[in-house]
Structure 1
Amino acid sequence: MYQVYIVDDAVLTRKALVMTMPWDRWGCVVVGSADDGERAFEEIVKLEPDIVITDIRMVHVSGLELIRRCRAEGIRAQFIIISGYNEFEYAKAALRMEVLDYILKPIDDEELQKAVEKAVQRIGETKALSAERREQEGEIKSLLLEYDEKNMNAYLRGALRYVRENYARELSIRDVAAHLAISDSYLAKLFKVELNITFLEYLTRVRMRRAMELMRDKNMPIYEVAERVGYRDYRHFSSTFKKLAGVGPKEFQMRS
């Protein structure tokens, strides 16, 4: 159920909103109401409702000030303003605070119902996006296995560190082995015996995890992401990414 909180200093308006709106239709329930912004703020912080419908002019704390305080506290509710004042400055201030809708009194039931429907739709989209982001964070963590390096062979520990520091350039097991002054065959054996993966698999996971982090910036071109994590061939990067993440890099970036 989506939780709704109502703020209005007019008793009849509050009662009408609670009693006459078909809240069940949208899977909503009114969890509280207040006649002033001060009390409303305290309860909204505690209840964290999904939707807040508030008057704009009230005693002590105005509707705009209430929204400003809520935003400062990290409250991400969908706010709908109802007001008897058709003033441009109010509407402009409301837009700056990402208010969903600004409805004039006397309230038109159909207009308010459309605003609530819009709020419910937006909440659903936001929750779906949050779920996708959480899933991607699982994907990112799974790409790089966490190893207990305390009891690890010193050469292998040094190899992992060297890869994490130099993944962005062309890197082979021979380069790492030369840096450690050991044979590449010995290093390959360490990866296989102690980690049960190959050197290339580890290097690829390090690169892909970093690529996923970079793609949180939706404005960064995919070819630039590829170059930053050590791939000169964009097509190779794209196919490797899709094989590990299950989706192509562009789709992943759009979901992030």
Structure 2
Amino acid sequence: MLSMLVVDDEYLVRSGIKETINWQDYNISILGDVSDGEQGLELAMKYKPDIILTDIRMPFMDGLEFMSRIRDNGLDSSIIVLSGYEEFNYVKTAMQNGAEAYLLKPIDNQQLIETVEKVANKIREKRKSKQYLEKFKNELPVLRKQFVKDMISGDLTSWEEILDKIRFLELSIEFSNNLVIVIRLDEYDTLLKLQNPAEFKRFKEELQKCINDNLLQNSDYCGIAAEESDAVWVVLLHIAKNDDKEVENVRKCCKEIIDTLSRNFRQQISIGISRVYDDLGKLSLAYKEAYAALDYKIIPGNSSVGYFGDRELIGYRREIKDAIKYIKDNFNKDISVETASRELYISPSYLMFLFRKELNKTFNECLTDYRIYKAKELMKNTRYKIYEISESVGYDDEKYFSQVFKKVTGMSPSEYIRSFSRG
């Protein structure tokens, strides 16, 4: 039911409006009636009526000033003006102050009812539209997420339907030069058992911020991101053109996401990038490529960025690939950058330079990451003792191994092992 305030200095007019019409039949309630604009403004500010019937000529504050004060105070009440004057200037000024209608006295009840009903219907329609827009706004993230899922699953292939949804959901997506990026939180099940929920929530918020800052709000790109699950995020990204330089820039942006997160969190993440496609209908294929590229790691145990075009780790120097092979073959021995450089016939300083340039890590960091990765694999078989695992991955000192393990993973070896027995 809508509320209505009557403001008129003539008692008989106010009484006639209230008493001769059963406003309940029209879903209108009279919340009050007053004789001048000052009292009217006070009641309007207090009760915020949906409709105001106001006279023009009144003592203390006339109807025109009253209407102006109503708008100055931010009230959006619909105003119907009552007047005995059919002067153009009055009508014009009333309409400029937002009056919905202008009725001449003496007032005809039927005309008044029709005018109030017309204004009331406009209010109801406006509210329905507002409620719909608010509901749509609240549901928009869910609808956009579903659009991403439909695209990458191949359920949405009709060009007409794709275009309709892009317009309807107000998406920043172009029709060519698109790729898919998949971001995966590795070892999610283990982290879920051990990590503080508030810390995990903070990580997800920071990851979303990194995606926005480095990809979606980057002036070179446009696209949309959706959380596929608690452990996987998918980005549909449009780039300027399909060439190696553009893809390399996307890879750099993804590396920046990893670097930013690694400064505050220990979680290991993998990022996979698909090839570039000129057909939106092929994004399901691009998604599969990006997912496959998640595991294009030059060395397991590291956060990584993989591009589907790099199946053979194209883009890494031969010395780096040889050094990584050396780590994988000898991680359980007493090795260092010096022993590796002798094996590869290059200087230690040059090898250290290449690791920092190509991987943004030192040789020792990569060695440690791989040792911890292999230790985790052994821990999944709980028949091994911690000291046995320590020795198997190149650490003679169990205590030192435990310190390194906790520094890298954020949990002790015992906590990590217990996480599997909870499953």
- TM-score (structure 2 length as normaliser): 0.40
Between structure 1 and structure 2, the one with the greater Rg is 2
Task: Determine the structure 2 residue equivalent to 1:41.
Answer: 41
Whole-angstrom distance in 2 between the partners of 1:18 and 1:199: 71
Shift of 1:176: 2.8
Task: Determine the structure 2 residue equivalent to 1:129.
Answer: 129
Task: Determine the structure 2 residue equivalent to 1:110.
Answer: 110
Q: Cα 1:34–1:152, aligned 2, differ >3 Å: closer, same or farther?
A: closer
- TM-score (structure 1 length as normaliser): 0.65
AA aligned to 1:119 is V
AA aligned to 2:213 is R
1:90-137 per-position Cα deviation (integer Å, ceiling 9, x unaligned): 101112122111111111112111111101111111110110121122
Shift of 1:151: 3.1
Task: Determine the structure 2 residue equivalent to 1:32.
Answer: 32
AA aligned to 2:52 is V
Alignment partner of 1:19 is 2:19: yes
1:50-85 per-position Cα deviation (integer Å, ceiling 9, x unaligned): 111011100011111111111111211111111011
Q: 2:214 aligns with which of 162, 166, 169?
A: 162
Whole-angstrom distance in 1 between the partners of 2:47 and 2:273: 51
AA aligned to 1:72 is D
Task: Determine the structure 1 residue equivalent to 2:52.
Answer: 52
8 Å CA contact retained: 2:85, 2:104: yes
Q: Cα 1:199–1:104, aligned 2, differ >3 Å: closer, same or farther?
A: farther
- SS for the counterpart of 2:31 is strand
Whole-angstrom distance in 1 between the partners of 2:205 and 2:80: 61
Task: Determine the structure 2 residue equivalent to 1:95.
Answer: 95
8 Å CA contact retained: 1:26, 1:117: yes
Task: Determine the structure 2 residue equivalent to 1:176.
Answer: 250
Whole-angstrom distance in 2 between the partners of 1:47 and 1:97: 20
User: Which of 1 and 2 has higher RCO (CA within 8 Å, sep 6+)?
Assistant: 1
8 Å CA contact retained: 2:7, 2:35: yes
Provide the aligned C-alpha RMSD in A.
3.5
Structure 2: where are the runs of 5+ without partners?
Answer: 146-198, 223-236, 240-245, 259-267, 282-423
8 Å CA contact retained: 1:26, 1:120: no
Q: Cα 1:44–1:170, aligned 2, differ >3 Å: closer, same or farther?
A: same
Whole-angstrom distance in 2 between the partners of 1:154 and 1:111: 61
Alignment partner of 1:62 is 2:57: no
Whole-angstrom distance in 2 between the partners of 1:156 and 1:71: 41
8 Å CA contact retained: 1:149, 1:157: no
Q: Cα 1:127–1:199, aligned 2, differ >3 Å: closer, same or farther?
A: farther
Shift of 1:153: 11
Equivalences for 1:204-219 in 2 at 5 Å? none
AA aligned to 1:136 is F
Q: Cα 1:177–1:5, aligned 2, differ >3 Å: closer, same or farther?
A: same
Q: Cα 1:154–1:20, aligned 2, differ >3 Å: closer, same or farther?
A: closer
Whole-angstrom distance in 2 between the partners of 1:152 and 1:27: 49
Q: Cα 1:148–1:65, aligned 2, differ >3 Å: closer, same or farther?
A: farther
- SS for the counterpart of 1:151 is helix
